[in-house]
Amino acid sequence: MSGQILATALTISKIFLTLAMAAAASRILRGPRAQDRVIGMDTLYVNAMLLLLVFGIGSGTTLYFEVALAIGLLGFVATVAMAKFLMRGEVIE
Amino acid sequence: MSTDVVLLTLLVVLPFAGSIVAAFLPTNARNAEAWLAGGVALAILAIAAYFFRPIARGEIPRVEFEWLPQLGLNFILRLDGFAWSFVGLVSAIGLLVILYARYYMSPDDPVPRFFSFLLGFMGAMLGIVVSGNLIQIVFFWELTSLYSFLLISYWHQNQSARDGARITLTVTAAGGLCLLAGMMFLGQIAGSYDLDVVLRSGASVTAHSLYLPTLLLIAAGVLTKSAQFPFHFWLPRAMAAPTPVSAYLHSAAMVKAGVFLLARLWPAMAGHDYWFWVFVPLGAATLLIGAFLALFQQDLKGLLAYSTISHLGLITLLLGLGSPLAAVAAIFHIMNHATFKASLFMAAGIIDHEAGTRDIRRLGGLFRAMPITAVLAMVAASAMAGVPLLNGFLSKEMFFAETVESHVASALDDALPFIATLAGMFSVAYSLRLIHQVFFGPEATDLPRVPHDPVLWMLLPIAFLVLTCILVGIVPQATVGAFLNIAVRAVLGDATPYYSLAVWHGFTPALWMSLLALAGGTTLYAVMLRYLSGDVEGAPILRRLKGQRIFERAIAIASWRGAKSLVQSLSSTRLQPQLVLLLCVTILAAVWPLYKGGIDIHVPKLHEIDTTFLLVWIVGCVCALGAAQQAKFHRLAAVILMGGAGLSTCVTFAWASAPDLAMTQLLVEIVTTVLLLLGLRWLPKRREETSRPANLFIRARRFRDLAIAFIGGAGLASLSYAVMTRPQTFTIATNFLEKAYTEGGGRNVVNVILVDFRGFDTLGEIAVLGIVAITVYALLRRFRPARDSVAVPEQKQFQDHFDAEHDALSKDTISAHYMIVPGLIMRLLFPVVSMMAVFLFMRGHDLPGGGFVAGLTFAIAFILQYIAGGARWVEARLTVLPVRWIGFGLLAAGGTGVGAAFFGKPFLTSSFQYVDIPVLGRLPMASALLFDLGVFALVLGATVLMLIALAHQSIRVSRASSKAVQPAEGAV
């Protein structure tokens, strides 16, 4: 029974997470401001990380978690670089 | 090894070893260089002296090293009498030239280069001479062309030196290629490349059906090398070389390589009418044209160059005659010419040095100023003219006598005495001109320098050579008799004719011809004197016939105009048409076999598709399309969208159980984004343009491009899909999966493939990566941004303005004013991210990770610090040496590969075992880990180097524009 609940929950969360990704992608596409797009991408990264965690729970292997860890640890670098670019006009001064 | 073997090997090895040593001496070490080079030449002379006795007894010392025994190619050195005489010639004249060069080269010239090349040339020349293998001869042959190129272009700041060097190389190296083909023919005909075998199979060679092509190809090599008509034009151009080079290469050694080979192959190939018909007409033409042109040269070295051409023509003619006596005369003349011409070149160099000009018209009356040089040059010039009691007279008389004999019955053969006498007349005339116009006549008044005799050491080589000319001229038998005899015997063997080296043979036709030439030449000079003193450049009649001009035009058409028009008609500098063409061809190439063979794609049913996956893919596709659409009008949006597409690829990899790829993809994505943003700073401002142009044509073109892109992308995707869904049987992947642990000691197959199974590929790839990184760095050092992107970005100006208004804190503290929280977090993350890099690296052999991913991760850790604190802040606290990391990486990876050799294993063989490590416990250690460390260091270094080089541009530019500091040469 509990296995059934977990499976259903995972499926639903997968779909919701991918929908969230789609929403974030549409924000990246539509903008309107550059800042909106950057935030959209950060959201995309976070959702992808969560999606991988859900994959990991579903399959029971830890390898997914490591990719998720990498996204969690390093995914923000692109966002920071963009923020810096928008704020200062160049990434490294 | 016996003494003979060692000494014979040293003969070739010593000059090259000396060349390497010479290259590393200090720039102004003229004395040390001269001692070294002179020592080498002396040692070779001593070796030659050691071998004289056995060779005189008829022995042929010989060494053979295995080279490619499967192909019947061995490295053979053999020293017969003929080779011996050339070794003596090359080393003796080399020694004198080195002594001369010590005083000739000015203290400002970088002498290591000169002496290194000179010794290298000596080695190559000796290599030709003592080679006992046809292919080996060609190898050293081309090497002499190369050294000649380098020596002529020694003063490379001089345009004529560069041109001369290029022409020389083109002509002689092209001839060398022909020679290679000819030698291969010859080797095939004779059945062996061994010179001894070839020389013995003369009868079968001349009778073979391929004799003519072989002869023509070898002739092309010989004639180009020895500057024979119609290839003679390179030699005068080569006179841009320093005079010691002209004296050595272009009178005594390199140009003699051609006639040397002709004489060398004489036993195997002469004795056929073709031989006569190839070499006699061209030799005669060269003899005449060279002598004629020499008379009209205004440049002293030009006169000597054309005279050399003429004398080489004489030797070629003699060898072409095919009679043994003529061959004797040719060999004798090779020696004589080398002595008098080398001394004349050195004298010309002294005159150039002391008077400051080589123009014969400006010189005059130098006898009073430099009497010793004048006397020496006069004797040498007389030898060149063929005045009795000098060595030139003897060989010239032998030549005259030989032309009178009949060889191949023809009009040409009958005309030879006349041609010879005529050429002799010209020879006398230009020798006379050299003596008269330079040393006598009215004293020159407008010379750049005041001429006087040079130091004694500079005159000594000339004096020695001139003394040889006189001694040989007076008592030939006692001086060169023995040497000439062993040389002649080595070439002719049992066919050696009786010849006499006496000065006086009675009133023979040859003597009358000599006297006629002397008288005629003197008269000719007296008649032409007025004309020659005029302003005429070049010879009458033949002035228009300029082989060099024709050559240059041919080269220009082939390599410049032809290539340009080909590019213009077939190519475009614009990227779009190129890509369209490339894609269309690729699509056609892919569609054609599928159309012929059909394809079986497993179309998935709807219920088989994972909804999540589908959605991720849709997101990815939309991002990719958006990126393409925005690329032109909104660059930042395009970069962000590309990041989205990359992320969905990353998720796909993870989903398809390829965590390695997912990780790599993610890191590459992040680094690429930072890189693009760094580059974006320097791109010109966005062009304000509507995304929907009114022009119908442009819209149509865009639809065409879209269609092509769609077909290409969709086609590739479906092709990949078809391949991936095919039922797999035994593939190389299965093989790798099986052997990864048993043979590579790792469970991460991808990593084992990278660092072990395909380690050599990886080594090559990281080498390329390192090269690319250093190239990027080098290119960015000279980066000049577009004018509208030089200015400090608007945001920064705004912020600075705001800062200045609100508080007076120092301007440069990035973190004090903004990004305080993220900046701190990023700084704190440095050890964390580094730890993760180490983690990924250490476990890479068994689980996803490895040097590449770890290197990227560590690079990101550094980049984060740069983003947080700025380049100045980071570099004040951390020493970042990416170039050294690259170097260390390559050394570590290569060293691991070489290390296998110590265990008697092939390059890059890896080994692994379990090692007990305190605290951590029992761990698998593979030697591949060291290799992976190299990959790690290199990837880290390359990534950081490229990004930081780009980042430093803003510091440089702001420095350059504010001019507060010196120009930005030192930045990065």
DSSP character string of B446-486: --SS------HHHHHHHHHHHHHHHHHHHSHHHHTHHHHHH
pLDDT at res. B898: 82
Give the start-end residues of each E strand in B496-553: none
The pLDDT tens digits for B318-328 are 999 888 889 99
Does residue B966 register a pLDDT over 50? Answer: no
Q: Which amino acid, residue B943?
A: T
Across the interface, do B640 and A77 touch by the CB < 8 Å criterion?
no
Total tally of structural domains belonging to chain B: 2
> Average of pLDDT values for B748-759?
80
Domain boundaries, chain A: 2-88
B residues 561-580 closer than 8 Å to A (CB):
none
Does A89 or B175 have the greater pLDDT score? B175
Element (H, E) at B555: helix B547-556
Q: What share of chain B is helix, strand, coil (3-state, %, to 5)?
A: 75, 5, 25
B146 in any annotated domain: no
pLDDT at res. B971: 41
Between B53-57, B274-278, B726-730, the lowest mean confidence (pLDDT) is in: B726-730
Alpha helix locations (H) across chain A? 2-30, 34-59, 63-88
Mean pLDDT of chain B: 85
Distance CA B533, CA B23 (A): 45
B560 in any annotated domain: no
Kindly list the residues from chain B whose CB atom is less than 8 angstroms away from the CB atom of residue A21: 615-616, 619, 648
- Give the closest residue to B466 by CA, choosing from B395, B382, B387: B382
Q: Please return the burial class of B890, using the count of CB atoms within 10 Å of its CB with bins 0-12, 13-18 and 19+.
A: buried
pLDDT at res. B533: 73
> Average of pLDDT values for B145-171?
90
pLDDT at res. B41: 94
Model confidence band, residue B231 (pLDDT cutoffs 50, 70, 90): confident
- Give the closest residue to B496 by CA, choosing from B674, B326, B294: B326
Does residue B114 register a pLDDT over 70? Answer: yes
User: What is the DSSP code (8-state) at residue B689?
Assistant: -
| CA-based nearest distance A86→chain B, Å | 8
- The answer to whether A79 touches A40, Cβ cutoff 8 Å, is no
pLDDT at res. B721: 83
The structure's pTM equals: 0.67
pLDDT at res. A47: 93
Peptide bond before residue B61 is cis, with ω within 30 degrees of 0: no
Across the interface, do A88 and B796 touch by the CB < 8 Å criterion?
yes
- Which of B545, B564, B589 delimits the end of a domain? B545
Residues in contact with B502: Cβ distance below 8 Å, sequence separation at least 6, in sequence order: B476, B477
Kindly list the residues from chain B whose CB atom is less than 8 angstroms away from the CB atom of residue A74: 666-667, 670, 833, 857, 860
> Average of pLDDT values for B380-406?
88
Distance CA B310, CA B401 (A): 18
What is the dihedral sign for C-alpha B491, B497, B501, B504?
A: negative
- The answer to whether B797 touches B690, Cβ cutoff 8 Å, is no
Distance CA B264, CA B267 (A): 7
Give the residue on A whose Cα is nearest the Cα of B955. Answer: A93
Does B810 or B471 have the greater pLDDT score? B471
| Domain encompassing residue B915 | 746-972
* ipTM attached to this prediction: 0.95
Tokens of B482: 């023995």
Alpha helix locations (H) across B322-410? 324-355, 366-369, 371-385, 391-404
| CA-based nearest distance A11→chain B, Å | 8
| CA-based nearest distance A52→chain B, Å | 7
Does residue B46 register a pLDDT over 90? Answer: yes
Q: Give residue for tokens 């929280």.
A: B821
Kindly list the residues from chain B whose CB atom is less than 8 angstroms away from the CB atom of residue A55: 654-655
Model confidence band, residue B964 (pLDDT cutoffs 50, 70, 90): very low
Across the interface, do B867 and A41 touch by the CB < 8 Å criterion?
no
Distance CA B659, CA B119 (A): 59
Q: Give residue for tokens 């420095």.
A: B959
Q: Is B881 helix (H, G, I), strand (E, B) or coil?
A: coil
The pLDDT tens digits for B653-663 are 888 878 888 88
B166 in any annotated domain: no
- Give the closest residue to B151 by CA, choosing from B241, B256, B233: B241
Name which of A73, A84, A90 is nearest B832 (Cβ-Cβ): A73
Across the interface, do A80 and B867 touch by the CB < 8 Å criterion?
yes
- The answer to whether A78 touches B670, Cβ cutoff 8 Å, is yes
Q: Is B208 helix (H, G, I), strand (E, B) or coil?
A: coil
Across the interface, do B616 and A66 touch by the CB < 8 Å criterion?
no
Tokens of A86: 């928008």
Across the interface, do B654 and A92 touch by the CB < 8 Å criterion?
no
B375 in any annotated domain: yes
pLDDT at res. B693: 63
B91 in any annotated domain: no
Does residue B32 register a pLDDT over 80? Answer: yes
Distance CA B219, CA B228 (A): 10
Model confidence band, residue B970 (pLDDT cutoffs 50, 70, 90): very low
Q: Give residue for tokens 């919701």.
A: A16
Model confidence band, residue A1 (pLDDT cutoffs 50, 70, 90): low
CA angle B296, B297, B300 (to 5 degrees): 140
Model confidence band, residue B965 (pLDDT cutoffs 50, 70, 90): very low
Across the interface, do B681 and A19 touch by the CB < 8 Å criterion?
no
- Which of B505, B526, B545 delimits the end of a domain? B545
CA angle B410, B416, B419 (to 5 degrees): 135
Domain A2-88 indexed as CATH 1.10.3470: no
Q: Give residue for tokens 């990864």.
A: B740
| CA-based nearest distance B632→chain A, Å | 15
| Residues B56-63: contacts with CB under 8 Å, at least 24 apart | B56/B81, B56/B482, B56/B486, B58/B489, B60/B490, B61/B4, B61/B8, B62/B8, B62/B132, B63/B4, B63/B5, B63/B8, B63/B9
> Average of pLDDT values for B775-791?
82
Beta strands at B912-917 and B921-926: parallel, antiparallel or unpaired: antiparallel
Does residue B199 register a pLDDT over 70? Answer: yes
Residues in contact with B946: Cβ distance below 8 Å, sequence separation at least 6, in sequence order: B675, B773, B776, B777
Model confidence band, residue B969 (pLDDT cutoffs 50, 70, 90): very low
Beta strands at B912-917 and B73-78: parallel, antiparallel or unpaired: unpaired
The values of phi and psi at residue B500, to 5°, are -120, 135
- Which of B489, B516, B545 delimits the end of a domain? B545
- Give the closest residue to A43 by CA, choosing from A79, A86, A92, A82: A79
pLDDT at res. B785: 77
